[in-house]
């Protein structure tokens, strides 16, 4: 190994220890370097400049959200009742009163479907638009580099860094259950880790989004001035011994960006809500989901193109096989209603909704039947479920498609998960001719066909 390569590696290790960034897996300069991608422009005339994808990990029940069945038998009807919305003739669940007041801002798709009955397969479809790659027989599919790239991975590949921020960010947790289950389809997949969305996670139950995570803050006792002095000392040690090659120049560039993050300067302040009005913070609520929605708005405002807000599956999630109705009433629907509606209203008030697509989905819906668990719940059901789209050129106040009388199968205008993803890409200005390049240099078409253009 050449001397300058050894010193360069030493310099990276020293910088890692100085900033306290080891939990990222990479040093922050390496992360920034790997996430720098070639910039590609979207289709001329595309209305959406950015997208916020609200992903309800676990799969929310269509019967208790946006596709109520008040005239159905007891099981598909459930315990909750529909309420009117701001759109005449459209009703949603009584536990979503704030979203009901915003129905004129969004479109409901009640005829979504695919054929994957496990979380990993359903997540892969809803996050990439494609079925998962062939795997060894298993009842579940988890993160794998054979995955198709997620929407965020594609956008990161196409747009790269802008205004000092990545094109795609995910928070506050993986799409998955617990600390170890990470469902397929939420990275850049076969495009390589250098195009993965920047993932900002808050693992502690009481740690809320709205501040720079610990990975992006200096270690306790290390001030920015002290860090600067250490770097000056390191430079004096290595000066004259390092090459001026491209690798060193790139590392220096990303080291400077990393220092900017550690100083909480420039665009990275978008992760912090300390300058938001107290009333705005209160409107979104103190749940991880609500705070993440507020940070997502700030990130889009700062230039991020795709923000995925994943319902924190290491806490309570939407996979309600048991205790379904209590969880929906007390733990799931109220914070979702509050955060989602606040996001729509905030974007509209700021004049951002027309250029920001907001998409709401999960991996599938829930069964029309109530299972025999005690307390009872609903099981996985990909054959029909509901999704929501707002802004970015979508005509609000409409319902597209319908399900049958017990919310079991599409009745008219069925929309496959791949068509839902194609619609997101369409709003952002990409179509099936869009090409990305994998690690081996091979081109791939990763945008599904058949967007639901009737929604625009």
**Model pLDDT, residue 16:** 39
The C-alpha atoms of residue 288 and residue 208 are separated, in whole angstroms, by 6
Say if residues 168 and 181 touch (Cβ distance below 8 Å): no
The candidate with the shortest Cα–Cα distance to 191, out of 246, 154, 225, 243, is 154
Q: Is 326 left (phi over 0), alpha (psi -120 to 50) or beta?
A: alpha
**Is 331 inside a domain boundary?**
yes
Say if residues 313 and 174 touch (Cβ distance below 8 Å): yes
Mean pLDDT in runs of 10 for the chain (456 residues)? 38 39 42 44 78 98 98 98 98 98 98 97 98 86 95 97 90 94 96 94 90 65 61 61 51 53 64 95 97 98 97 93 98 98 98 98 98 97 98 98 98 98 98 94 96 98
**Model pLDDT, residue 315:** 87
**Is 273 inside a domain boundary?**
no
**Is 419 inside a domain boundary?**
yes
**Is 34 inside a domain boundary?**
no
Pairing between strand 306-310 and 91-93? unpaired
Nearest 10 degrees: CA dihedral of 5, 7, 12, 14? 160
Structure tokens at 257: 């960006």
Say if residues 32 and 161 touch (Cβ distance below 8 Å): yes
**Model pLDDT, residue 232:** 65
> Whole-prediction pTM value?
0.85
**Is 12 inside a domain boundary?**
no
**Is 43 inside a domain boundary?**
no
The C-alpha atoms of residue 125 and residue 141 are separated, in whole angstroms, by 11
Largest CA distance in the chain: 80
Show the domain range for 332.
48-204+306-378+393-455
CATH, residue 191: 3.40.720
Long-range contacts of 68-74 (CB under 8 A, 24+ apart): 68/92, 68/93, 69/405, 69/406, 69/407, 71/405, 72/368, 72/405, 72/406, 72/407, 73/406
Distance of CA 364 to the CA centre of its chain: 16
Pairing between strand 168-171 and 306-310? parallel
Q: Is 294 left (phi over 0), alpha (psi -120 to 50) or beta?
A: alpha
The C-alpha atoms of residue 247 and residue 242 are separated, in whole angstroms, by 11
**Is 451 inside a domain boundary?**
yes
The candidate with the shortest Cα–Cα distance to 289, out of 319, 329, 317, is 317
**Is 169 inside a domain boundary?**
yes
- Output the CA–CA distances (angstroms, integers) from residue 60 to 161, 315, 445, in the order listed: 33, 15, 30
**Model pLDDT, residue 269:** 86
404-430 per-residue burial string, b: 16 or more CB within 10 A, e: under 16: bebbbebeeebbbbbbbbbbbbbbbbb
- Output the CA–CA distances (angstroms, integers) from residue 268 to 27, 82, 303, in the order listed: 17, 42, 11
Say if residues 196 and 36 touch (Cβ distance below 8 Å): no
| DSSP characters over 79-112 | S--EEE-SSTT-EEETT-HHHHTTGGGEEEEEEE
**Model pLDDT, residue 370:** 98
How many structural domains compose the chain?
1
């Amino acid at each position: 190994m050449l001397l300058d390569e050894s010193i360069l590696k030493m310099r990276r290790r020293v910088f890692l220890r100085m900033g306290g960034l080891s939990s990222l897996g990479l040093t922050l300069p390496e992360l920034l370097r790997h996430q720098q991608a070639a910039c590609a422009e979207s289709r001329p005339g595309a209305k959406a400049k950015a997208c916020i994808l609200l992903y309800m990990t676990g799969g929310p029940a269509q019967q208790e959200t946006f596709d109520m069945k008040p005239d159905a038998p007891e099981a598909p009807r459930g315990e909750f009742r529909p309420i009117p919305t701001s759109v005449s003739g459209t009703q949603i669940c009584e536990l979503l009163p704030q979203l009901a007041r915003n129905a004129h801002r969004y479109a409901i798709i009640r005829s979504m479907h695919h054929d994957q009955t496990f979380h990993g397969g359903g997540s892969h479809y809803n996050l990439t638009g494609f079925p998962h790659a062939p795997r060894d027989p298993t009842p579940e599919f988890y993160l794998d580099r054979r995955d198709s790239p997620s929407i965020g991975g594609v956008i990161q590949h196409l747009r790269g860094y802008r205004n000092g921020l990545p094109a795609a960010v995910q928070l506050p947790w993986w799409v998955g259950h617990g600390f170890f289950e990470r469902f397929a389809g939420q990275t850049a997949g076969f495009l390589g880790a250098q195009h993965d969305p920047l993932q900002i996670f808050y693992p502690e139950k009481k740690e809320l989004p709205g501040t720079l995570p610990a990975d992006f803050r200096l270690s306790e006792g290390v001030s920015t001035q002290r860090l600067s002095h250490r770097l000056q000392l390191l430079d004096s040690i290595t000066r004259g011994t390092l090459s001026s090659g491209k690798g060193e120049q790139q590392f220096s560039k990303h080291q400077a960006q990393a220092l900017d993050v550690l100083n909480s300067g420039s665009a990275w302040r978008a992760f912090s809500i300390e300058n938001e009005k107290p009333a705005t913070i209160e409107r979104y609520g103190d749940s991880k989901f609500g705070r993440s929605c507020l940070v997502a708005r700030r990130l889009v405002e700062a230039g991020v193109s795709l923000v995925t807000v994943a319902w924190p599956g290491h806490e309570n999630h939407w996979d309600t096989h048991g205790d379904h109705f209590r969880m929906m009433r007390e733990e799931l629907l109220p914070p979702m209603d509050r955060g989602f509606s606040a996001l729509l209203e905030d974007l509209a008030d700021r004049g951002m909704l027309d250029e920001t697509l907001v998409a709401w989905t999960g991996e599938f819906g829930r069964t029309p039947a109530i299972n025999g668990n005690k307390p009872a719940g609903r099981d996985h059901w990909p054959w029909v479920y509901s999704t929501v789209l707002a802004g970015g050129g979508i005509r609000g106040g409409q319902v597209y498609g319908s399900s049958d009388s017990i919310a079991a199968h599409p009745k008219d205008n069925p929309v496959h998960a791949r068509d839902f993803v194609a619609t997101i890409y369409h709003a952002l200005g990409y179509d099936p001719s869009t090409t990305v390049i994998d690690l081996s240099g091979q081109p791939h078409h990763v945008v599904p066909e058949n967007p639901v253009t009737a929604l625009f």
